[in-house]
Amino acid sequence: MNINSIKKNRLFLGMVVLPMMLAIVYYGFLARNRYVSTSEVVVHKVGSNDDAAASQISGLAVLMGGGALSSSAETLYVREFIVSQDMLDLLQKKLQWSQHYSGHTRDLWYYLSPAASREEVLKYYQKMVRAQYDETTGLLTVSVDAFNPDFAKQTLAVIISESDRFVNDISHRLAREQVSFAEDEVARAHQAFEGKRNALLKFQGTSNMLDARQAAKARNEVITALQADLAKEDTVLRALNASFSEDSPRVRQQKIKIQAIQQQISAEQAKLIAKNSDNETNVAASKYQALEIDAGIAEDAYKGAVASMNTARIEAAKKLRSLVVVVNPNMPEESLFPRRLYSLFTVLVVLLLIYGITRFVIATIKDHQD
Mean pLDDT by 10 residues, the chain (370 residues): 62 93 90 94 73 44 48 91 98 96 80 93 97 94 96 98 95 85 89 86 68 62 79 80 78 82 75 53 68 85 89 82 94 90 94 94 82
Residue 212: per-residue pLDDT: 52
String of DSSP letters for 326-343:
EEPPP--SS--B--HHHH
User: SS3 of 14, please?
Assistant: helix
What is the predicted pLDDT for the residue at 4?
Answer: 57
Beta strands per DSSP E along 127-191: 129-133, 140-146
pLDDT at 59: 47
The pLDDT score that the predictor gives to residue 264 is 80
| Residue 70 pLDDT | 63
Q: How many whole angstroms separate alpha carbon 366 and alpha carbon 343?
A: 35
Predicted local distance difference test score (pLDDT) of residue 51: 46
What is the per-residue pLDDT for 230?
78
Name residues whose C-beta falls within 8 Å of residue 248's C-beta, 6 or more positions apart in sequence.
240
Taking the C-alpha atoms of residue 203 and residue 209, their distance in angstroms, rounded to an integer, is 8
Look up residue 43 and give its DSSP letter: E
Closest CA to 262 of 224, 225, 226: 226
Question: Which of 262, 239, 258, 240 has its CA nearest to residue 249?
Answer: 240
This prediction has a pTM of 0.66
pLDDT score of 215: 61
- Provide the pLDDT for residue 53: 44
Backbone angles phi, psi at 34, to 5 degrees: -115, 125
Please tell me the predicted confidence (pLDDT) of residue 208.
60
